[in-house]
């Protein structure tokens, strides 16, 4: 690895790349010394030590970081507000054999949370039913009609997972019928709480656990740990009834943790590391069949979970049967798991086709709104012809393209819009959406800093645009004023080997809050470049010594990065990206995923 520049100086002298970013070294003088200490004190390869130091790992914590364990990082679940109440009430239901209704959300986190609770109850022979609302007709979270339906069918306890913290009307309906509700959620909420026997949410205002970074499945897992502890204390586990092996459910927790894009730090990192190990054993029939149909070759990684398995599970909630994802993760029947996976695959293809059409329209609308200037701080796009199940994907794509918070809203024939928002780091859209609800602009809405959902009447759309711009423009300008790409180091095509990737995996898994290392490849010649698929750019790079490296820029054909690559055939160019392994017909090859490019200044 080559020498690196001083803090805040341009890496490879790139002060403005093709994507209008300044490249800087992720490490400053202090963290470089930390990296050196990690390498020398713990016999860690320099490349790995730099990556660790760049992500806040100290020399003292290096070995525990490289070997994260649930035992070391697992908190006492009781630190969460209302956890003991929830565990006691669940234990009562299990011991009495009460029928339990599980009300979940229609995304991966909701499906995983529902499956975890269902599997736990099933282990104890407790009858249960999972209810996932229809995204279009019911919207997010519990509603009175569904709650009453579950009670009419015999539910004696209702457990909401990944939802419920702000569902006042629905939980009041349960209260009127003397049915207890346990809420297990992780979304941001105000100080007022709906009626529930327990509301477990690390993001409730009075919770001091410090576990607000968990996804809902992580909170559910802690709830199951607490409940099993109560049952053991009550001497419930005797001959014929063994305590469940909760660690074997970590594959489901890992899936949700990655797909909900929560930070892969602390307990989350341990959950994913151990969850991937469980997943490799392929004991969950649903995940095994879905991996087959997704053509996942080799051991699963966070990339596979986030970009191959997650979208397929989400497809059911977006445009089909919202319960398919939870059903898949609960299945202990290989044939049923295969059929469900095939349904999800078909729905995912339909989703991809619809998304492509909608994205083209959304980009045109956003381009017109921005025009030749900087445009609004927050993009709000809308249409009467969009599928409400896909607006979250649109918002995510537009956010990446225009580097600003984005909302995409699908209006129905009655003028009611269902929208999703995605944000950029440093801009909290969840709080802005809740403020818009309080201001009477939105019918309802909620979420967290990076993602939010909302319902708005068409006549309030203009007011919403103005409100979001007023609320968020200052933080957006602050973030946009310093668009930088942090580089972990410089490599050559010859040094990008399978062995180096294997070393880097020790500092993983990578994801939100623990980003994949980005390496710069200085002045590599573009030997080959062409568009593959619909809009990907496939490239072959060559270093000065003749070594070659295959690379790809996803969804880049009509972006400045893709156009630069296609126009620079035969010329040297600085490339920045992340390394990965591409497995084709059983053969492993190094592949660079290109994030940015810049023309050398010589």
How does strand 444-447 pair with strand 451-457? antiparallel
CA separation for the pair 104, 438 (Å, rounded): 25
pLDDT surpassing 90 at residue 319: no
**Between residues 588 and 294, the one the model is more confident about:** 294
Q: How far, in Å, are 13, 527, 564 from residue 570 at the CA level?
A: 22, 5, 12
Question: What pLDDT is stored for residue 7 in this prediction?
Answer: 46
Give tens-digit pLDDT for 328-383: 999 999 999 999 999 999 999 999 999 999 999 999 988 888 877 778 999 999 99
440 pLDDT more than 70: yes
Q: Each residue of 221-262: pLDDT tens digit?
A: 999 999 999 999 999 998 778 999 999 999 999 999 999 989
Q: Which pLDDT belongs to residue 420?
A: 94
- Give the C-alpha separation, 542 to 391, whole Å: 40
Q: Which residues contact 40 (CB under 8 A, 6 or more apart)?
A: none
Residue 425: predicted pLDDT: 85
In whole angstroms, what is the distance from residue 407 CA to residue 436 CA? Answer: 14
Distance from C-alpha of 422 to C-alpha of 384, rounded to nearest angstrom: 20
Q: Which residue has better confidence, 296 or 579? A: 579
Catalogue all structural domains in the chain, each as residue range(s) with its CATH number.
11-54+488-598 (2.40.50.460), 73-345 (3.90.1640.30), 374-480 (3.10.310.30)
Mean per-residue pLDDT, 461-477 = 95
**CB-based burial of residue 270 (10 Å sphere; 0-12 exposed, 13-18 middle, 19+ buried)?**
buried
Q: Where do the DSSP E strands lie in 404-465?
A: 406-411, 416-422, 444-447, 451-457
pLDDT at 482: 64
Pick the most confident of 9-23, 81-95, 423-437, 545-559. Answer: 81-95
Average pLDDT over the chain reads 93
What is the average pLDDT across 488-503?
A: 94
For residue 572, the surrounding DSSP H or E stretch is strand 572-584
- What's the 3-state SS for 519-535? EEEEEEEEEEEEEECCC
Note whether 465 and 152 are within 8 A (CB).
no
Over residues 28-62, the pLDDT tens digits come to: 999 999 999 999 999 999 999 999 999 999 999 99
Residues above pLDDT 90, as percent of the chain: 82
In this prediction, residues 529-540 reach a mean pLDDT of 94
Q: What is the pLDDT of residues 138-191, one digit of tens each?
A: 878 899 999 999 999 999 999 999 999 999 999 999 999 999 999 999 998 889
Question: 377 to each of 21, 391, 405, 407, 467, how far by Cα in Å?
Answer: 18, 19, 7, 12, 11
pLDDT at residue 275 is higher than 70:
yes
**Integer Cα distance of 118 and 516 in angstroms:** 34
Give the residue among 209, 341, 216 at the shortest CA–CA distance from 271.
216
* Kind and range of the H or E run holding 396: helix 391-402
> What was the pLDDT predicted at 134?
87
In angstroms, rounded to a whole number, what is the distance separating the alpha carbons of residues 455 and 458? Answer: 10
Query: In the beta sheet, which residues pair with residue 581?
Result: 590
Q: What is the mean pLDDT of residues 466-494?
A: 91
pLDDT one-digit tens code per residue, 115-125:
999 999 999 99
CA distance 378 to 366: 10
> Using alpha carbons only, how large is the chain's radius of gyration in Å?
25
DSSP 527-562: EEEEEETTTEEEEEEE-TTS-EEEEEETT-TTSHHH
Peptide bond into 466 cis (omega under 30): no
């Amino acid at each position: 690895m080559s020498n690196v520049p001083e803090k805040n100086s341009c890496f490879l002298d790139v002060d403005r790349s093709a994507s209008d970013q300044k490249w800087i070294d992720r490490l400053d003088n202090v963290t470089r010394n930390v990296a050196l200490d990690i390498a020398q004190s713990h016999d860690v390869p320099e490349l790995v030590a730099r990556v660790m130091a760049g992500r806040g790992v100290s020399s003292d914590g290096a070995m525990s970081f490289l070997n994260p364990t649930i035992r070391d990082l697992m908190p006492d679940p009781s630190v969460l507000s209302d956890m003991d109440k929830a565990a006691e009430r669940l234990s009562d239901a299990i011991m009495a054999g009460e029928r339990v209704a599980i009300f979940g959300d229609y995304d991966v986190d909701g499906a995983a949370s529902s499956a975890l609770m269902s599997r736990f109850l099933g282990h104890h022979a407790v009858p249960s039913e999972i209810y996932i609302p229809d995204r279009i007709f019911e919207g997010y979270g519990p509603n009175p009609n569904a709650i009453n339906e579950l009670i009419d069918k015999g539910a004696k306890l209702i457990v909401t997972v990944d939802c419920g913290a702000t569902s006042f009307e629905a939980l009041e309906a349960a209260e009127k019928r003397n049915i207890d509700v346990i809420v297990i959620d992780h979304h941001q909420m105000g100080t007022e709480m709906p009626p529930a026997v327990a509301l477990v949410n690390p993001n409730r205002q009075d919770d001091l656990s410090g576990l607000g970074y968990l996804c809902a499945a992580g909170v559910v897992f802690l709830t199951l740990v607490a409940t099993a502890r109560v049952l053991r204390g009550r001497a419930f586990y005797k001959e014929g009834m063994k305590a469940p092996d909760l660690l074997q459910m970590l594959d489901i927790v890992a899936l949700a943790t990655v797909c909900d894009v929560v930070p892969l730090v602390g307990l989350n990192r341990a959950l994913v590391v151990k969850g991937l190990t469980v997943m490799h054993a392929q004991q969950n029939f649903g995940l095994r069949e879905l991996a087959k149909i997704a053509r996942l070759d080799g051991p699963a990684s966070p990339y596979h979970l986030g970009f191959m398995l997650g979208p397929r599970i989400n497809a059911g909630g977006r445009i089909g049967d919202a319960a398919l994802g939870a059903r898949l993760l609960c299945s202990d029947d290989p044939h049923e798991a295969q059929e469900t996976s095939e349904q999800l695959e078909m729905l995912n293809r339909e989703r991809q086709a619809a998304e492509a059409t909608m994205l083209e329209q959304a980009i045109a609308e956003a381009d017109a709104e921005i025009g030749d200037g900087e445009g609004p701080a927050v993009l709000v796009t809308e249409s009467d012809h969009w599928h409400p199940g896909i607006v979250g994907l649109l918002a995510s794509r537009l956010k990446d393209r225009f580097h600003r918070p984005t909302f995409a809203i699908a209006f129905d024939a009655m003028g009611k819009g269902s929208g999703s928002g995605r944000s950029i780091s440093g801009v909290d859209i969840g709080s802005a959406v809740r403020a818009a609800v309080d201001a009477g602009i939105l019918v309802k809405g909620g979420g967290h800093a990076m993602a939010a959902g909302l319902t708005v009447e068409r006549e309030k759309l203009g007011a919403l645009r103005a409100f979001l711009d007023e609320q968020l423009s200052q933080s957006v300008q602050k973030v946009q004023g310093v668009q930088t790409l942090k580089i972990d180091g410089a490599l050559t095509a010859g040094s990008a080997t399978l062995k180096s990737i294997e070393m880097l995996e020790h500092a993983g898994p990578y994801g939100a809050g623990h980003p994949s290392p980005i390496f710069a490849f200085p002045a590599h010649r573009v030997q080959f470049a062409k568009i593959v698929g619909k809009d990907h750019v496939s490239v072959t790079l060559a270093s000065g010594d003749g070594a070659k490296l295959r690379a790809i820029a996803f969804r880049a054909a009509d972006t400045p990065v893709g156009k630069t690559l296609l126009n620079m055939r035969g010329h040297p160019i600085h490339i920045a990206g992340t390394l990965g392994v591409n497995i084709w017909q059983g053969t492993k090859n190094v592949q660079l995923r290109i994030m940015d490019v810049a023309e050398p200044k010589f």
